[in-house]
Amino acid sequence: MSKSFLEVDGLCKVYPDGQGGELTVFEDIRFALEKGEFVCIIGHSGCGKSTILNVLAGLDEASAGNVVMNGKEIKGPGLERGVVFQNYSLLPWKTTLNNIVFAVRARWPGWSKEKVKEHSERYLKMVGLDHAMNRKPSQLSGGMRQRVSIARAFATQPELLLLDEPFGALDALTRGVIQDELVKIWEETRQTVFMITHDVDEAILLSDRIFLMSNGPNARIAESVKVDIPHPRARATIFQNPAYHKTRDYLVDFLVNRSGSALPKRDGSPKFIEPAKGVAQSKPASAESETESESDTAARAVNA
């Protein structure tokens, strides 16, 4: 089996249920990410998405299973993995710029002061906040804070970016604007991103693949849905693509009707689904990263 950039193998999390027993939140989570992929994970509350992300970040430990990135097992947090938290997690006593400087300095301790500052300012500019450089987070709106948080994560140029529902606490208008910004930065940097979301449209706009989780307890990543819409995408025009509607219908159907009973393949890896297969494309589909056998199973799954 060829090695992927990130391989998650048999992850499982067990908590005491408070009555002397045990509660398995999720079990046998298996998936792989390729370099440069943007993958979203969707599932109902309580299926353990955040825990999976925290395990990838190294902030939490799984009860079983392991995560291998670049051939090395992940043990504890590291700078090669950047995290954007839902509640921004900016340090409130530092200015916007210094929050980013803090991260950049940690990433490249040998850099000169000027280089750190210049690098940090560049990323702050990328999210359009260079004018708010010297303000404290408490003087920024929620949307602006999350942009700082995103800039901080991108500024350290991690190999894997983990976004934990980054737009969950924002109003719909702000969310749209920042989604556009995220698309823009991602097109520039092509980082590998793993993101949690509850928003189907957001997932389609941003990701190459979408993982669908079944409900907890004993949740699994049941399916991996390909989003067959060429980059660059734009929020304003994406709905004109016929593949968009096929994909959206498929995701909504899963979340509404099938998330309780869906199961992954026999070997524990998610079923690969291409809901928009055969839909006419204006451009050829993006480079195939999946293996032959996965496409076969996908076809079977769709037929089933």
Partner 1 sequence: MASLNIRAAILSISFLILALGLWEMATQPPEAQTGMTEYEMLMGGADQESRVPPPSAVIKLAWAELSNPFYDAGANDKGIGIQLAYSVYRVLTGYLAAMAIALPVGFLIGMSPLMYKALNPYIQLLRPISPLAWMPLALFIIQDSDASAIFVIFICSIWPMLLNTAFGVANVRQDWVNVARTHELGPLRTAITVILPAAAPTILTGMRISIGIAWLVIVAAEMLVGGTGIGYYVWNEWNNLDLASVIFSILMIGVVGMLLDLALGKAQKLVEYKE
Binding site for partner 1 (CB under 8 A): 57-59, 76-79, 81-83, 85, 87, 89, 91-93, 102-103, 106-107, 136-138, 156
Instruction: Report in angstroms how near the CB of residue 181 gets to partner 1 at its nearest.
Output: 21
Instruction: Report in angstroms how near the CB of residue 145 gets to partner 1 at its nearest.
Output: 11
d(CA 117, CA 113): 6
Helical spans, DSSP H, in 112-241: 113-126, 142-155, 172-189, 200-206
Instruction: Report in angstroms how near the CB of residue 116 gets to partner 1 at its nearest.
Output: 13
- CB nearer partner 1, residue 52 or residue 221: 52
- CB nearer partner 1, residue 49 or residue 233: 49
Instruction: Report in angstroms how near the CB of residue 103 gets to partner 1 at its nearest.
Output: 6
Write out the E strands in the chain.
6-16, 22-33, 38-42, 64-69, 72-73, 81-84, 160-164, 192-196, 209-213, 221-226, 271-273
Instruction: Report in angstroms how near the CB of residue 153 gets to partner 1 at its nearest.
Output: 9
Whether the Cβ atoms of residue 26 and residue 220 lie closer than 8 Å to each other: yes
d(CA 270, CA 30): 7
- CB nearer partner 1, residue 138 or residue 237: 138
d(CA 224, CA 298): 9
Instruction: Report in angstroms how near the CB of residue 287 gets to partner 1 at its nearest.
Output: 31
- CB nearer partner 1, residue 65 or residue 77: 77
- CB nearer partner 1, residue 155 or residue 225: 155
Inter-helix orientation angle 113-126/172-189, to 10°: 130
User: Which tokens belong to 277?
Assistant: 């297969």
- CB nearer partner 1, residue 106 or residue 252: 106
Bridge pairing between strands 221-226 and 209-213: antiparallel
- Cα distances (Å, whole numbers) of residue 71 to 6, 35, 290: 8, 13, 19
Whether the Cβ atoms of residue 217 and residue 231 lie closer than 8 Å to each other: no
SS3 content of the chain, % helix, strand, coil (to 5): 35, 20, 40
Instruction: Report in angstroms how near the CB of residue 58 gets to partner 1 at its nearest.
Output: 8
- CB nearer partner 1, residue 140 or residue 205: 140
d(CA 125, CA 114): 16
